[in-house]
Amino acid sequence: MFVNVVLIVICMCGVCRYIVSDCDSVEVLFKDQHYTKTPEEAAAQTILAGLDLNCGNYLGQYTEGAVKQGLLDEASINNAVSNNFATLMRLGFFDGDPSKQPYGNLGPKDVCTSENRELAREAARQGIVLLKNSPGSLPLNAKTIKSLAVIGPNANATRVMIGNYEGIPCNYISPLQTLTALVPTSYAAGCPNVQCANAELDDATQIAASADATVIIVGASLAIEAESLDRINILLPGQQQLLVSEVANASKGPVILVIMSGGGMDVSFAKSNDKITSILWVGYPGEAGGAAIADVIFGFYNPSGRLPMTWYPQSYVNKVPMTNMNMRADPATGYPGRTYRFYKGETVFSFGDGISFSSIEHKIVKAPQLVSVPLAEDHECRSSECMSLDVADEHCQNLAFDIHLGVKNTGKMSTSHVVLLFFTPPDVHNAPQKHLLGFEKVHLPGKSEAQVRFKVDVCKDLSVVDELGNRKVPLGQHLLHVGNLKHPLSLRV
C-alpha cells in the first residue's frame, strides 16, 4: 500500500511534548491527496491541527507564505517552536559542554554493547507468536534431539530479518547458525530464494526423513512485501507451500513451521495438517532473530507474543478492493469489512491469538454487572427510548469502575502472559462486534497466580462511533470478555 500521512507523537514522562510528521506528509496533503489548494494551506492547516515539526523542508518553505496570506498567525508558529525548543532543553542542548550532558557524548561505543545485543534478542523473543503446538511438539529437548533438519528459504536468513527502515546491525545471528550450535543439524534451503519459483524437494525431504525433528523456516522478504510493493496474494510465496507439505509428509519427527514475514499468510493448509505440529510467526525479528527463534524452539524462553492483526484466508483478497478503505462490512456489495472489529468471516488466525508452553486460566475477581448513568429529571433519555448517550453529554463524565481478573499459570514453566480485555457493545450504530478495551502483561512463575486490574472509564472505553462520527455510549447489555471468559454488563440510565 501507499503509505500516506504518518503523524508521530513523541511522549516523554507521559506528557506529549511535540508532534512531528513524516518527511513528505505535509506535501502529500497538497500534491497527492489534493486536500488543500496550495502548499501554504497545507502548512497552515497542519500547524493549526497541532503539528510542531515536519522532518522534510516543506514547513520551512511555505509557512512564512502562509502567514503572509493570513492563513496562520505567528502565535501558532511560536507555539510549535517552543515545543521544539522545550525538547532541546530537555536533552541538555543549552546546558554547556555537550560532552558533559547525558546524551551529548553518545557514540559508536554505545551501539553494540552486550546489553544492547541482549536487548535485540529479548525484543525478538517477546515478539514471537506461537500459533499451533500439538502435544509432544515444542519445546524440543536439546539433549534428546540427536539430529535436526533445518529447511527453508529463510532458514539461514540474515538481512531479511531486519525488514526495512532499518539501521546497520551489529551482526546477524541466523536461525541456522544458532540451531547448529545447539544440536547437530543438516540444512537444505528447499527454494533458491523466498520467491521460490521452483521448490527443490529432493534434499529437503531426504534430510527431513532421517532427522529426529524438522524446522522449516519460510515466509517473505522485502522482495515480496514492502512500501510500494503489495503482495498479489496472501499465500506463502511461490512453491513454498508445496515445499512445506512435502517436507512435512516426509518428516520422521515433529515439524516446526516458522513463518518470517511482515503481513499475515494464509497457512490454512498447515493449520489443518497433523504432521505440522507447531507453527510460529516471528515477524522480521531483527539482528538476533535467529537466536530468539532457537530460544523458543528449545524451550529456553516461553513465547507470549500475540498476533497484532487478523490473518485472512486467500478468498478475502478477492472480496476486498484495495481502493475501499471502509472498516464496516457492506452486505449489499459483499464487502467483508476489515479487522477483528468488523470482519465476521473465517480467519486463518485471529487478532490476539498466541499461546505459550503453559496453560493459563482467567477468572473474574471483581466486576460490576450493572452500571447506572445518573441523568437529570429533564434529560431526554429519561422519557424517550434512547439507544445511546452522547459522550459529550455532561452526564457522561467520571463514570468509572474497576475490573479485577485472576490469572493462573497452571503449567510448570514460568511465562509472561498478556491479558487482552475486549468488549462487545450492544448492536446499535453498526458498532464493532468486538473492541480491545485494554491489555496488561504479567509475568507468572510456574504454578502461580496474579491479579490484573483494569480501570474502565465508561464514557471513553465503552463508547462507539455512530453513523455521523459522534462518539456514543450504547445503553443496554455489553459483554466483557477475556479468552473464553465472558461477563455481561448492563448499562442503564
Q: Which of 484, 450, 462, 451 shows the shortest CA–CA distance to 401?
A: 462
Helix axes 39-48, 74-90, angle to 10 degrees: 60
Helices and strands, counts by H and E, the chain? 14, 20
Q: Which is nearer to ligand NAG, 246 or 266 (CB)?
A: 246
Using CB under 6 A as the binding rule, the residues of this chain from 247 to 266 that contact ligand NAG are 249
Using CB under 6 A as the binding rule, the residues of this chain from 266 to 305 that contact ligand NAG are none
CA atoms of 261 and 480, how far apart (whole Å): 32
Least Å distance between CB 172 and ligand NAG?
Answer: 7
Q: Which is nearer to ligand NAG, 187 or 349 (CB)?
A: 187
Least Å distance between CB 117 and ligand NAG?
Answer: 18
Least Å distance between CB 226 and ligand NAG?
Answer: 20
DSSP category for residue 311: B
Q: Which is nearer to ligand NAG, 276 or 452 (CB)?
A: 276
- Which residues fall within 8 angstroms of residue 38, CB to CB, at 6 or more apart? 30
Q: Which is nearer to ligand NAG, 69 or 210 (CB)?
A: 210
Residue 408: exposure state from Cβ atoms within 10 A (0-12, 13-18, ≥19):
middle
Which three-class secondary structure state does DSSP give residue 79?
helix
Count CB-CB contacts under 10 A for residue 198.
12
Q: Which is nearer to ligand NAG, 178 or 463 (CB)?
A: 178
Using CB under 6 A as the binding rule, the residues of this chain from 106 to 165 that contact ligand NAG are 156, 158
CA atoms of 310 and 1, how far apart (whole Å): 17
Least Å distance between CB 112 and ligand NAG?
Answer: 18
Least Å distance between CB 134 and ligand NAG?
Answer: 19
Q: Do the Cβ atoms of 402 and 456 come closer than 8 Å? A: yes
Q: Which is nearer to ligand NAG, 52 or 246 (CB)?
A: 246
The catalytic residue among 22, 390, 393, 461 is 22
Q: Which is nearer to ligand NAG, 158 or 416 (CB)?
A: 158
CA atoms of 160 and 150, how far apart (whole Å): 17
Least Å distance between CB 205 and ligand NAG?
Answer: 8
Least Å distance between CB 288 and ligand NAG?
Answer: 15
Which three-class secondary structure state does DSSP give residue 291?
helix
Q: Is 95 a catalytic residue?
A: no
Q: Which of 129, 128, 131, 130 shows the shortest CA–CA distance to 271?
A: 131
Which residue do the cell numbers 462518539 mark?
471
Count CB-CB contacts under 10 A for residue 264.
21
Sign of CA dihedral 440, 292, 128, 260: positive
Least Å distance between CB 128 and ligand NAG?
Answer: 21
246 belongs to the binding site for ligand NAG (CB under 6 A): yes
Least Å distance between CB 148 and ligand NAG?
Answer: 14
Q: Which is nearer to ligand NAG, 209 or 479 (CB)?
A: 209
CA atoms of 354 and 439, how far apart (whole Å): 14
Using CB under 6 A as the binding rule, the residues of this chain from 182 to 241 that contact ligand NAG are 187
Least Å distance between CB 399 and ligand NAG?
Answer: 58
Which three-class secondary structure state does DSSP give residue 217?
strand
DSSP category for residue 252: S
Using CB under 6 A as the binding rule, the residues of this chain from 429 to 448 that contact ligand NAG are none
Count CB-CB contacts under 10 A for residue 458.
21
Using CB under 6 A as the binding rule, the residues of this chain from 306 to 345 that contact ligand NAG are none
CA atoms of 254 and 214, how far apart (whole Å): 6
178 belongs to the binding site for ligand NAG (CB under 6 A): no
Q: Which is nearer to ligand NAG, 282 or 459 (CB)?
A: 282
Note the helical H segments in 279-402.
289-297, 314-319, 339-342, 380-383
What backbone phi and psi angles, to 5 degrees, belong to 125?
-60, -45
Q: Which is nearer to ligand NAG, 84 or 249 (CB)?
A: 249
Q: Which residues of 234-248 are buried (b: 16+ CB within 10 A; e: fewer)?
A: bbbbbbbbbbbbbbb
CA atoms of 373 and 375, how far apart (whole Å): 6
CA atoms of 151 and 214, how far apart (whole Å): 8
Q: By CB under 6 A, how many residues form the interface with ligand NAG?
A: 7
Note the helical H segments in 51-110.
58-68, 74-90
Site residues, ligand NAG (CB under 6 A): 156, 158, 174, 176, 187, 246, 249
Catalytic residue list: 22
